[in-house]
Structures are given as C-alpha cells and as structure tokens.
Amino acid sequence: MKTLMAFFFILYSSSLFAQFPQASVTDINVKLRADKITAEYNKHLGLNGIQIPLFKNKIAHYLVLADEIKKNNEGREELNALIEMQANESLAMNDILTLYQYRLYKKLKPEIQPLKMVE
C-alpha cells in the first residue's frame, strides 16, 4: 500500500515540475506577435524543439508586460521601464539559450525588438 501511495505521489508531483507550463497569455494578438518574433529569432539562432515553446512563452510574457508599461506610462518613464523590462527579458533568455545562441540573441535583439525613441 505504501508503495502504491508513493507511486501516485511521485506521478502527481512530477506534473508540477513539467518543462512546458501552461501559457497564461490568452490574447490572440500577443500570441501572433510572439510567433512572429520567435520565427524571426529562429532564423538566426536555430532553436531546437525544446527551446521553441519556452522561448515563445517567454516572449509572449514580456510582450504582455511591455503592453502594460506602454499603457500605464509615457515619455521618459515609459522608456526607462521598457529598458529595464528588456534587460530582464534578456536575462531570462539566458536560461533557455546556449551561450552561443545567447550572445547572438543579444546582438539581434535591437534589430528584431527595437525600443521606441523618446524626444
């Protein structure tokens, strides 16, 4: 009986630590933008099968954050918040990408995901 209980406990707890968490992004426009951005990066980075959904989920998450920042701030405050958010996004991508991919990602990011300029 103890063995059976331990088996079910392990089976249940392993689903809690799954690699592909459910995306909390429900806006179809955000998902489409995340798909487009991921595809553009994938042309250069050569993401593997495991990296693609992780990368796409991370992009979608930060697109939602960027939209919130743009909605709630303007001018210099908006730019500063977006710069900080993009720095956090880059650090998060370090966990998904290899060292070579990460270095290339940082070079490509200003071209693929540019910040708007504030006068």
Rounded mean pLDDT for each run of 10 residues along the chain, 119 residues in total: 58 47 66 94 92 94 91 89 92 93 94 73
Distance CA 42, CA 36 (A): 10
Q: Is residue 90 part of a domain?
A: yes
Q: Kindly report the number of other CB atoms within 10 A of residue 91's CB atom.
A: 10
* pLDDT value of position 43: 94
> What is the helix (H) or strand (E) element at residue 53, kind and residue range?
helix 51-72
Q: Domain for residue 19, yes or no?
A: no
pLDDT for the residue numbered 106: 94
Full domain range(s) for residue 51 = 25-112
Report the pLDDT value the prediction gives residue 27, as an integer from 0 to 100.
78
**pTM of the shown model:** 0.72
- Asked, for residue 1, whether it belongs to a domain, the answer is no
Q: Is residue 46 part of a domain?
A: yes
- Closest among 75, 84, 54 to 117, alpha carbons compared: 75
pLDDT at 2: 63
Report how many domains make up the chain.
Answer: 1
